[in-house]
């Protein structure tokens, strides 16, 4: 016969211990569009600062030269709503108006460049060695181009090719793009609770479906691996992959695109270092479940 007081049962061993459980969410790859979102906001602010100037600098000025007398030329400058006639010496070299380096074009090129690189990151995985090869290859091509430029003067044709590029958009386009991407990311953030994993000291719970269907897996002899399949995605949101090896299960549980993977790894180590044990009294053991 036990002398233990049934009313004074001991508290669970896990009382007061942090990290009793943790939730793990997986996300679609569209979340890595974040750099493009930031670029759109920056370009939108930039276009607002320059007052939405989208006019091609080479199209706003048209010159027609007529000989007046030796050494002079009459130039008619036409702008929207204004016509001005000036006379200047033909020996002067008129300054060439460059549209590629205009502020509105630079903002457009930056946005499209970030967007293209972002799509490449989403489409292709870049392991550590692959990204190193890409960086070395870019530097190698750059030095090779500079070496060829010494003999063939490739810079002027390149400058002329760049002058043919003129891509602009007003601030409304950039801000609307940022709004659409933000709305999509917000929907993803809200609906993440439709499919997530919860790790407890004794079991793994998989909640999925609109009605919270539940699957349970034991944590006994649980092993897990952390993988970084894409170094660029890791740099953006510290994303990685968790592979859970559950005992008595033929297939491993693969969780892709887990954000802040290093924090999840540390919490999972602390959580798996404990096994929850509950001590019951004789009276509790005799009660029907």
> Could you read off the pLDDT of 22-45 as tens digits, one per residue?
888 999 999 999 999 999 999 999
Using DSSP, state whether 4 is helix, strand or coil.
Answer: coil
Pairs from 258-266 (Cβ < 8 Å, separation ≥ 24): 258/24, 258/25, 258/26, 259/25, 259/27, 259/31, 261/226, 261/228, 261/234, 262/238, 263/238, 264/22, 264/24, 265/226
**Average pLDDT along the chain:** 76
Would you state the pLDDT for residue 114?
94
Length of the chain: 289
DSSP class of residue 7? Answer: T
| % the chain with pLDDT above 90 | 20
Of the candidates 150, 112, 127, the one whose C-alpha atom is nearest the C-alpha of residue 36 is 112
- The answer on pLDDT for 162 being more than 50 is yes
Tell me if the pTM is above 0.95: no
128/229 Cα distance (integer angstroms): 8
CA–CA separation, 29 and 168 (whole Å): 28
Q: What is the pLDDT of residues 207-231, one digit of tens each?
A: 887 766 788 888 777 788 888 888 8
Task: Note the pLDDT of residue 217.
Answer: 84
Unique residue bearing structure tokens 């709305």? 183
Q: What is the pLDDT of residues 120-154, one digit of tens each?
A: 989 888 887 777 777 888 888 877 777 676 677 77
pLDDT surpasses 50 at 179: yes
Handedness of CA 67, 73, 79, 84 (dihedral sign): negative
């Amino acid at each position: 016969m036990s002398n233990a007081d049934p009313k004074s049962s001991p508290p669970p061993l896990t009382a007061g211990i942090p990290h009793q459980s943790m939730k793990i969410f997986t996300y679609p790859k569209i979340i890595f569009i974040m750099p493009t979102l930031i670029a759109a906001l920056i370009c939108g602010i930039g276009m607002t600062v320059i007052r939405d100037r989208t006019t091609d600098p080479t199209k706003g000025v048209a010159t027609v030269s007529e000989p007046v007398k030796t050494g002079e030329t009459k130039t008619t400058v036409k702008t929207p709503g204004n016509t001005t006639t000036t006379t200047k010496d033909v020996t002067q070299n008129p300054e060439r108006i460059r549209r590629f380096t205009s502020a509105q074009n630079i903002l457009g090129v930056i946005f499209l460049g970030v967007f293209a690189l972002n799509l490449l990151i989403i489409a292709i995985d870049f392991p550590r060695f692959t990204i190193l090869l890409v960086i070395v290859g870019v530097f190698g091509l750059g030095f090779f181009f500079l070496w060829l430029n010494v003999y063939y003067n490739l810079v002027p044709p390149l400058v002329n090719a760049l002058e043919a590029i003129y891509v602009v958009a007003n601030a409304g386009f950039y801000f609307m793009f940022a709004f659409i991407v933000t709305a999509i990311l917000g929907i993803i953030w809200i609906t993440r609770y439709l499919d997530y994993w919860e790790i407890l000291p004794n079991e793994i719970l998989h909640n999925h479906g609109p009605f919270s269907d539940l699957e349970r897996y034991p944590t006994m002899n649980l092993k897990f691996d952390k993988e970084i399949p894409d170094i660029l995605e890791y740099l953006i949101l510290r994303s990685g992959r968790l592979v859970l090896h559950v005992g008595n299960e033929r297939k491993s549980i693969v969780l892709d695109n887990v954000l802040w993977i290093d924090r999840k790894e540390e919490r999972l180590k602390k959580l798996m270092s404990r096994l929850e044990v509950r001590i019951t009294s004789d009276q509790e053991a005799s009660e029907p479940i």
